[in-house]
Amino acid sequence: MDSNLIAVVSIATSGLTIGIGGMCPAIGEGRSVATALTSLAQQPDASATITRTLFVGLAMIESLAIYSFVVSMILIFANPFWTHAIASGGK
């Protein structure tokens, strides 16, 4: 494989990863906050339980965005395919 092709594919995949991996959790966080606010408006006496559950859910949703960011950084800076391309002499 040509090393330029590896670079182009890695950068494109990294962009898609961080784009989709940032957009989808943002939509999920927005929907969960909207639902939590609706629940708080309907049952204000359960605010402690709803808020605690909301924060745990938001942390789990945000971890997806962080994992996408890590995969993107690995594709750019620590790509395992580069080692194979360099070892094969760029053929």
Tens digits of pLDDT across the chain (91 residues): 577 888 888 889 999 999 999 999 999 999 999 999 999 999 999 999 999 999 999 999 999 999 999 999 998 888 877 777 777 765 5
Per-residue pLDDT, 37: 95
Contact 63, 28 (CB under 8 A): no
pTM of the model: 0.76
If we measure between CA atoms, which residue out of 90, 25, 32, 30 comes closest to residue 61?
Answer: 25
Per-residue pLDDT, 7: 82
Contact 54, 4 (CB under 8 A): no
Per-residue pLDDT, 1: 56
Domains, the chain, ranges and CATH? 3-85 (1.20.20.10)
